Amino acid sequence: MHRAHPESHAMLAVAWRLGTSGKQVATAMLTSAGLTVSLAIVFTAILGLAAGWDIKQRRIPNGLALATVLLGTSFALVSRGVTDGAWAAFGGVAVGLAVWLPWWWLGMMGAGDVKFFAAAAAWLGPRGALSAALVTALLGGVLAIGWLVARKLVRRQAGGANTIVVDEVAREPDPTVRLPYGVAMALGLGVAAWIPLIR
């Protein structure tokens, strides 16, 4: 019988260890990716809830914004580490406030929209928040045009149907003020969150 060389045993041991380590790394990557996608789904659900609330009541409650920023900060800390995660969450909130707070001061946007965007930006970090703000601005312009056209059509139809309805429509606030801008924000935040995952 031939005796196995010690080098063969050493090579087999190294190969086994490499195989085991590779499986562990692959498992860790799959677990991390799965966790990221799961949290992205949760984030998307929050955005959908905010958009629905804004459409129905023209406001986004403070409780939802608070829950969003707490979850977003937790996600940043877990995914990026304590130091980097804290800076990312803080930076995202700061960018969100810096972009939209002037519009609230000018009376062109509700405070609830600003607070919710800033809270949701904690999930994305400063760069993601900037991307989300850009997409939101583009979608918000399209939404505003569609909203104005829809209101004009409603006024025309109401004018031909019933003077009482005309009076009710005329007493409504300006349609740009009542625009559910939280919808555009939710879409912009969702695009910024999912595009990096899709890539």
Domain boundaries, the chain: 33-198
| Average pLDDT of span 116-124 | 96
Question: How far apart, in Å, do the first and last CA atoms of the chain sit?
Answer: 56
Label residues 8-20 b or e (16+ Cβ within 10 Å = b): eeeeeeeeeeeee
Q: How much is the pLDDT for 35? A: 66
pLDDT band at 154 (very low <50, low <70, confident <90, very high): confident
Over residues 171-197, mean pLDDT = 77
- With 60 as the cut, is the pLDDT of residue 158 above it? yes
What's the pLDDT band for 195 if we cut at 50, 70, 90?
Answer: confident
Residue 155 in contact with residue 2, Cβ under 8 Å? no
Select the more confidently predicted residue: 29 or 144.
Answer: 144
- Looking at residues 145-152, what average pLDDT do you find? 80
Backbone angles phi, psi at 174, to 5 degrees: -55, 135
Least confident of 14-28, 48-62, 77-91: 14-28
User: Which amino acid does the sequence have at 171?
Assistant: R
How large is the average pLDDT for residues 22-45?
63
Q: Percentage of the chain surpassing pLDDT 70?
A: 70
Whether 14 shows a pLDDT value over 90: the answer reads no
